[in-house]
Amino acid sequence: MNNYLENLNEEQKQPVLHKDGPLIVIAGAGSGKTRVLTYRIVHLLNQGVDPLNILALTFTNKAASEMKKRISEITSESISRNLWMGTFHSIFARILRSEAPLIGFPRNFTIYDTYDSEKLISNIIKEFKLDKDHYKAKTIRNRISTLKNNFINVESYFKNPELIEIDKSSKREQFGNIYKEYVKRCFKSCVMDFDDLLLKTNELLKKSPEALHKYQDKFKYILVDEYQDTNYSQYLIVKALADRHENLCVVGDDSQSIYSFRGANIDNILNFKKHYPSSKSYKLEQNYRSTKNIVQAANSLINHNILKLDKTIWTNNQTGEKIILNKSLSDSDEGRYVSSNIFELKNNHQLKNSSFAVLYRTNAQSRSIEDALRKINIDYQVFGGLSFYQRKEVKDVIAYLRLIENLNDEESLRRIINFPPRGIGQTTIDKLVILSNEHDISLFDSISKIDQNSRMFSSRTIQKLEDFKNLILSFKIYSGNNNAYETSNLVIHKTKLIDFYRDEGTLESMNRIENIEELLNGVNDFIDQQLEIFEGDNSLSKYLQDVALYSETDKEIKSEKVSLMSIHMAKGLEFPIVYVVGLEENLFPSIMSINSREDIEEERRLFYVAMTRAKEKLILSHCEQRFKWGNIIDCEPSRFLSEIDENFIKNINTSRNYIRQKIDEKKLRIKKIPNKNLKKINLSSISKIKNPLININLNEKVYHERFGRGVVEDIEGEGDNIRAKINFKSGGEKKILLKFAKLKIIK
């Protein structure tokens, strides 16, 4: 146990050896902060501190379990088991289990998760007979959560005219009464939600001097990980517990404070010295993770922030490659660039899929990356959420499309018959099931069997069912004369899915809107891709077939996969090779963050986190255009790219400079090329221009960005209609028009 200090550098040793008094450890990315926390606890134990007197607070169970495991390896399992170590919520729940009677709760209280809370709030709204358009359970729950995390209980709310006015202006003047009733019901049912675990712990320590003194005496040494992510309520609890001994050690990095949307307050770490004037500061500035180029580039970016603590991250690692800055024509091209680059690096350097990570600002961006990786059979895993085509809002749209294609699809009907809500409840669906069973027909056909004089259904319900049936039939007629994109676009707008989520007004609902938009982009890409294939099929039926095959692929579980995740999800992780995509204004930084310096600085910190995930190679990418809601949007490179010292950047351009066939510019992604720089071509000389792909040979091995490797089996046609029949290993047999071909000959 005594040789543990040999595993630390001089910077790391200092906070480990610091015994009494408050201290803050500013730990840069990849500097070994977890090691410092772990060894500080080991050192305290070695100095004779009782493990029962040590409290260590983390934000994830994973972090707590890893630290505990390491401590048990150095000391013993029996010692580590006695440590009070875990997440804020788990530790405070443990305290409340013991002390709950002091605030009027039984020790065996139930903890509600988010779903339970929303269900209870939904019932209250129903009982109050409030307008569901203005009082959405999710919105109300989020509002209650925000108030609780700012230590605003029901009593405080009703004493605050400003808060009441905010809800009144949002047409939710009854919010206070819902909040009051929700708290009353929870108390009556002996229930606490996640936010109560913080609120009630604060209440306990404030109202019960007995409990406060008990735990102040107990926790002689307190350690807090990721201190920059603490909210106001967590700050108050930690401060109260540490007030007697002030042996408080906090570890964090202000440059990685990225969770303000869930209540995190960067002021907690920035003002630590003000809160504890006698505290000592230590800096961990040596990065053990990344190359010199990556570290110095990240430094040059974050130095543009004003609100920050003074530190300079450095490394003794190798210089490494310059950061690649890629510019693509579109998000689809970006996806293909990323996938082909992964393919190339894998083959050239014998790398595993797990060496690669693709990071993005919003989860909706995974679609183009997923599609591209799937086309060339590179296994991937989406973290922090479902695979794109498995997300609820995406599955809802797909269910509409499947029902249009096949009216007998019972599961699809069940999924969307009352979504968005149209007043067709479960009781009505149950009656339809009875009717369909009696007549041995589908659920959809059973709607037509309902007699106007039927006693099973009210006249109002009959009308709602008739309206739904006619809506679906109108979609079916439309799809017979229009392509998959036009049909999907009509369905999304006629069903008012976007309006439904927009009215919710939550961060989650905004993400759902982005995912629906991205689904439309995917359908448009499908149409675009069919242009390249001779006699390509752009129907809804063909699109659904493709999506179904994709879903089957998603079900394959393999251990070695490329990681796809949002940057928020990537915090704390590292990968040899990292791609950061979608680096454009209004996307990253987000359009919701460009109106205040504080928000921009958090977006910059988020980019800093993304850059510092890379160990060996970092690729940054942006697009010239994105397809949004049927229109081509010209994109500007993110302002953050210009803030990186150009000495660490290598620019490449994978934009495809070709004119695409004009096919309904309103629906398809068309690159418009200005004619001011174009030269007139002598048409008589066209025949002299040689395209090497025109002379492609039978049995030639080729590579396609979407379909992967293939062999040329036949060549037919003439002029612009010359086409090759190619058997692709993963994509099967395709007829490719060489005029639009994206082929590479494999030597």
pLDDT at 48 over 70: yes
Q: In this predicted structure, what is the pLDDT of residue 107?
A: 79
**Of 99, 167, 196, 226, which one is the catalytic site residue?**
226
pLDDT 10s digits, 727-741: 887 667 888 877 767
Q: In this predicted structure, what is the pLDDT of residue 532?
A: 67
Cα end-to-end span (Å), the chain: 59
Q: In this predicted structure, what is the pLDDT of residue 115?
A: 64
92 or 1: which carries more pLDDT confidence?
A: 92
Q: Which of 10-14, 117-121, 621-625 has the lowest mean pLDDT?
A: 117-121
pLDDT > 90 in the chain, percent: 44
pLDDT at 678 over 50: no
Active site residue 545: no
Report the 10 Å Cβ neighbour count for 682: 7
Confidence category of residue 414, pLDDT binned at 50, 70, 90:
confident
**Local structure of 733: helix, strand or coil:** strand
Which residue type, as a one-letter code, is found at position 681?
I
Q: In this predicted structure, what is the pLDDT of residue 548?
A: 62
Active site residue 414: no
**Of 143, 172, 613, 723, which one is the catalytic site residue?**
613
Q: In this predicted structure, what is the pLDDT of residue 386?
A: 59
Q: In this predicted structure, what is the pLDDT of residue 731?
A: 65
pLDDT, mean of residues 554-562: 58
Active site residue 613: yes
Confidence category of residue 694, pLDDT binned at 50, 70, 90:
low
Q: Give phi and psi for 274, each to the nearest 5.
A: -70, -40
Q: In this predicted structure, what is the pLDDT of residue 635?
A: 92
pLDDT, mean of residues 552-569: 69
Q: Which two tokens stand for residue 195?
A: 């936010």
**Of 174, 230, 234, 256, which one is the catalytic site residue?**
256
83 close to 54: Cβ distance less than 8 angstroms: yes
Q: In this predicted structure, what is the pLDDT of residue 660?
A: 37
pLDDT at 236 over 90: yes
Which residue type, as a one-letter code, is found at position 542?
K
Q: Could you tell me the CA-to-CA distances from 134 to 22, 62, 423 in Å, in that order?
A: 48, 39, 17
| d(C-alpha 60, C-alpha 353), whole Å | 26
Q: Which of 281-290, 464-473, 699-708 has the lowest mean pLDDT?
A: 699-708
pLDDT, mean of residues 516-534: 82
Q: In this predicted structure, what is the pLDDT of residue 559?
A: 53
Q: In this predicted structure, what is the pLDDT of residue 344?
A: 93
| d(C-alpha 248, C-alpha 225), whole Å | 11
pTM (two decimals):
0.71
Q: In this predicted structure, what is the pLDDT of residue 662?
A: 32
Report cis status (omega within 30 of 0) of the bond before 589: yes
Average per-residue pLDDT for the chain: 85
For residue 279, the cross-strand partners are none
pLDDT, mean of residues 671-694: 41
Confidence category of residue 535, pLDDT binned at 50, 70, 90:
low
**Of 11, 14, 34, 379, which one is the catalytic site residue?**
34
Q: In this predicted structure, what is the pLDDT of residue 684?
A: 39
pLDDT > 70 in the chain, percent: 89
**Virtual CA dihedral for 185, 189, 190, 194, nearest 10 degrees?**
-60
**Of 118, 181, 196, 225, which one is the catalytic site residue?**
225
Buried b (16+ CB within 10 A) or exposed e, 357-368: bbbbbbbbbbbb
Residues 6+ apart with CB under 8 A from 190: 105, 106, 108, 109, 110
pLDDT, mean of residues 620-648: 89
Confidence category of residue 670, pLDDT binned at 50, 70, 90:
very low
Q: Which two tokens stand for residue 103?
A: 């605030």
pLDDT 10s digits, 281-295: 999 999 999 999 999
Q: In this predicted structure, what is the pLDDT of residue 637?
A: 95
pLDDT at 555 over 70: no
pLDDT 10s digits, 91-122: 898 898 889 899 988 877 777 777 678 878 98
pLDDT at 556 over 60: no
**Of 33, 70, 143, 709, which one is the catalytic site residue?**
33
pLDDT 10s digits, 537-549: 788 887 876 776 5
Active site residue 34: yes
pLDDT at 266 over 80: yes
| d(C-alpha 661, C-alpha 737), whole Å | 13
| d(C-alpha 722, C-alpha 707), whole Å | 19
Active site residue 174: no
